[in-house]
Chain A
Amino acid sequence: MLEVEHLTKRFGGLTAVADVSFAIAQGEIVAVFGPNGSGKTTLLSMIAGVLAPTAGMIRYRGTSLVGLPPNRVVALGIAKTFQNPQLFEELTVVEHLRIAGHLMLKRRLGWRRLLTLFGGATDGERTVDARADRVVALCRLDRARDTIAADLSYGQEKMLGVAMALMCEPELLLLDEPASGLGHGEVTELERVLRDLRDQGTTLCIIDHQVKFLGRLADRAISLQHGAKIADGPPQDVLSRPEVIAAYLGASHAADTAA
């Protein structure tokens, strides 16, 4: 579904992502691990079109994503959530979802969107509202439906980020540290939402620090260190490899575990 080949990103002298290649198949939950500064966020940002790669190739269903702006990438079916929740401060949850329904409306109505300006083609807005209701229920945001973004809890803000991405009807959802900063209960809730999503056929690529959370959820794990891929395989395998443990906890800990 998604192929990344020899992807590299340099910021001046710093190489944030170095020659990373991997592929994601439809229906998978892929986790990308790595300590702070290992290039995880940079990698996702390049796929989503936020950053342009220095070298390498990103292909989605045969189409190259390199050079496309974020709005075109998401229109192709790849949505991304933000590490720090990005919201429209003064709008309510449901208003966020209506804005996020932009692509849906565009796909459903095409040029008929012009008719809505004259009071026609009301079916489009109804479809968006119906999906917003489903997404609100799926993301457990029912009670916050009409709350403005500025009054949401941190966990709700993060969930709203996921909800907005879902309004884009993604086939591949990229999640940038969805669990960071969440309480234990909220992580469990998030895990449930992500499993529901997978069951509905959405492919997920998640980056996070929370090894336990990812280990439970993912079908496959990729580990990064200093921008390079050091492991790729089933999560339990990847997590028990000495080089991964070393990258996370330091070399001495890896030696202890091996001994």
Chain B
Amino acid sequence: MTRPRLLTVAAIAVAVMLPLVVKSDLTLTILVFSFLLAMLAVSFNLIFGFTGQLSMFHAAAYGIGAYATHIGMRDLGLAFWPAVGFAMALVTVLSAIIGTICFRFRLKAFYFAVVTLAFAEMARLVAANWHGVTNGTLGLTLTAKPSIGWPGHAIAIDNTLAWYYLSLTALAMTIVVCSRCVHSWMGRCFVAIRLNDALGDALGIDIFRYKLLSFCIANAIAAIAGALYAHFLGYVDPSFLSVDQSLAIVAMVLLGGKGRVAAPVVGAIFLTLLPHLIHFNAEVRAIIYGSILILVILLLPKGIVGTAAEWSRRRHA
């Protein structure tokens, strides 16, 4: 077994055992949030870290996923998981449309970021103003809880411990899916697009198709993360789709490292835990939080995981 894989397995083992030691509901709650945000960051890394496209639509996909799951249950009478499926399908269709527009016009780098940001803002404004469906800026209270199993033998996910294992499973599945994509012909196409798309094109790779594929897969996973996050929180409002949320995801990926599938998990956990570890007034806390973020990104350009890997390689070399 390779070292990174060994570490991943060890991390999963620790995460599975953790609730045996940690009994604090607050700590578990924070961890559930970190796992779901980690899911968001890992999926974002697919389009950002591997395919090299700075999408600003990721938070929008996450927010739309949250809203659409609720709407699927409320207006279409679906159960929780089919409603999540509906949200994924909706986000995939929207991503295909937006991706087609952006990639057909060959928008790259900041142009792509700006146009996806415009679409994300459009989605946020719809969420903020379509009162009949979204209850506007007041947001919606979500009381539905998912359950696992089949009718008659379902386990309700209605306490923090159950949510802990559900979010951990969802995160693990996200890592497996992204890892399978990245370590395949598909991932090679993504990397080719990031490093030299003209060369990729000359080698027979349909740049448009693989950019779109990467964008759709990443956003579909974000939709699941949004559905779970909002239903754990019991609330969704338009801030789910905000630029702040998008930038937080970028920060998580940069902090963890973009070169590896699971590295953004470290960034997500770090950024979610950090505010809870700084025991100061809100203003001071914001300053410290921001400073740590800036310092880490400046000092560790490859992210926490990338730097640690390099350090360990040098020690063993």
Contacts and interface: CB of A to CB of B under 8 A. Distances in A.
A80 B207 CA distance: 17
Nearest to A88: B195
B201 interface: yes
Given A87-B196, A88-B191, A102-B189, A71 B205 contact: yes
A99 B192 contact: yes
Nearest to A81: B202
Interface in A133-155: none
Chain A interface extent, by class: 20 to 34
Interface in A83-136: 86-91, 98-100, 102-103, 105-106, 113, 116-118
Interface of B: 180-181, 184-186, 188-189, 191-192, 195-196, 198-207
Interface string A27-42: 0000000000000000
Contacts of B196: 86-89
The 6 closest A-B pairs by CB, nearest first: A103-B204, A88-B195, A86-B199, A74-B204, A70-B201, A99-B188
Contact of A82 (B185, B200, B202, B204): B202
Contact of B180 (A50, A89, A118, A164): A118
Contact of B203 (A103, A113, A118): A103
A168 interface: yes
A221 interface: no
B204 A117 contact: no
A48 interface: yes
A181 interface: no
Contacts, number: 69
B202 A98 contact: no
B206 A71 contact: yes
Contacts of A82: 199, 202
A88 B185 contact: no
A106 B189 CA distance: 12
B123 to A, nearest CB: 30
Contacts of A74: 202-204
A55 interface: no
Contacts of A50: 202
Given A86-B196, A88-B196, A117-B180, A69 B188 contact: no
A230 interface: no
A66 B279 CA distance: 66
A24 interface: no
B81 to A, nearest CB: 22
Of listed B180, B188, B204, residue having the most chain A CB within 10 A: B204
Interface of B is mostly: helix
A113 B189 CA distance: 13
A82 B199 CA distance: 9
Contact of A102 (B180, B185, B195, B198): B185
A251 B113 CA distance: 55
A88 B199 contact: yes
Contacts of B184: 116-117
A70 B198 CA distance: 9
Given A75-B204, A86-B196, A105 B185 contact: yes
Contacts of B188: 98-99, 102
B176 to A, nearest CB: 11
Contact of A99 (B180, B198, B200): B200
Contacts of B205: 71, 99, 102
B202 A48 contact: yes
B204 A71 contact: yes
B185 A70 contact: no
Contacts of B198: 86
A177 to B, nearest CB: 15
Of listed A48, A102, A168, residue having the most chain B CB within 10 A: A102
A102 B204 contact: yes
Contact of B195 (A91, A100, A167): A91
10 contacts: A69-B201, A80-B202, A86-B198, A88-B199, A90-B195, A91-B191, A99-B188, A99-B192, A102-B192, A103-B203
A80 B204 CA distance: 11
Contacts of B189: 99, 102
A116 B185 contact: yes
A140 to B, nearest CB: 21
B236 to A, nearest CB: 32
B60 to A, nearest CB: 27
Nearest to B201: A70
Of listed B181, B198, B205, residue having the most chain A CB within 10 A: B205
B92 to A, nearest CB: 17
Contacts of B199: 82, 86-88, 164
